Structure 1
């Protein structure tokens, strides 16, 4: 069984690894062009999502409830990320 500290490390390591991968892709891959605000927004989105999922995982609710809420949180993250990238909803902060 995992301890609380191991679970927290795992939950927050995923966004850190994703941002590290994006950073190294930005350095070495042609066509990958993120600026500092892109990294800041991605960090806020990823670590914010990890924080909310961490709260859900450590709640006293049932496993089914935790899975449903975590899925909804991840779906919201995905929709915001897609909107910022390509603008599927046509909002004022949509990407190109």
Structure 2
């Protein structure tokens, strides 16, 4: 499939997904998106799809493509959850800004690895470890005061939710490791 067809599919999928909250707003007061919410969601969804297409095209391996999908989905879920409700406390807790380092680690690692499967595996494992480190810092070191302090969420809920997010990055790393072991070949089709 050509890049232009892929971009059209991403744009259509983004538009269809954005119709869900738009239609829901017509029937319930529970969904109350602003114009900026729609712009944020559109940029995030389209950017996620574009990232997947550009990276997954580099290798012919189905395992590699699955690994890219899991890694990109991990980034999407992290940014979406952090913006919507926050990963530590509420979305207003400044400790949540630390989580932006996780996709940065993944992206920098991917570029350094030149998108080779073994290097991508290491980048995803580094993102998972960064996620765990950020959670530890946010929970045990960061002590918000004043308006930033929120009621204590059950610690087990926070640890389980953050553990699941870190595990998604690790699964991507395992899939990239498997793709490197199966001897994937570089895709020469760049159109």
TM over 0.5: yes
Cα distance in structure 2, aligned partners of 1:42 and 1:72: 18
Structure 2: runs of 5 or more not aligned = 98-191
Q: Which residue of 1 aligns with 2:55?
A: 56
TM-score (norm 1): 0.77
Q: Is the 8 A contact 1:11 1:54 kept in 2?
A: no
Q: Which residue of 2 aligns with 1:77?
A: 76
Within-5 A mapping of 1:7-18? 8=6, 9-18=8-17
Q: Which residue of 2 aligns with 1:39?
A: 38
Give the number of the structure with larger relative contact order, counting CA–CA contacts within 8 Å between residues 6 or more apart: 2
Report the structure number with the largest CA radius of gyration: 2
Q: Provide, for residues 30-83 of structure 1, a one-character-per-residue CA deviation record: whole Å limited to 9, x for no partner.
A: 211111111111111000001111113322342211110111101110111111
Cα distance in structure 2, aligned partners of 1:41 and 1:61: 32
Q: Is the 8 A contact 1:26 1:32 kept in 2?
A: yes
Cα distance in structure 1, aligned partners of 2:15 and 2:56: 19
Cα distance in structure 1, aligned partners of 2:15 and 2:57: 20
Q: Which residue of 1 aligns with 2:29?
A: 30
Q: Is the 8 A contact 2:56 2:68 kept in 1?
A: no
Structure 1: runs of 5 or more not aligned = none
Q: Is the 8 A contact 1:15 1:43 kept in 2?
A: yes
The range that moved more, 83-92 or 45-54, is: 83-92
TM-score (norm 2): 0.42
Report how many residues are paired.
Answer: 90
Task: Supply the RMSD in Å over aligned alpha carbons.
Answer: 2.2
Q: Is the 8 A contact 2:59 2:65 kept in 1?
A: no
Q: Is the 8 A contact 1:56 1:70 kept in 2?
A: no
3-state secondary structure, aligned to 2:67: helix
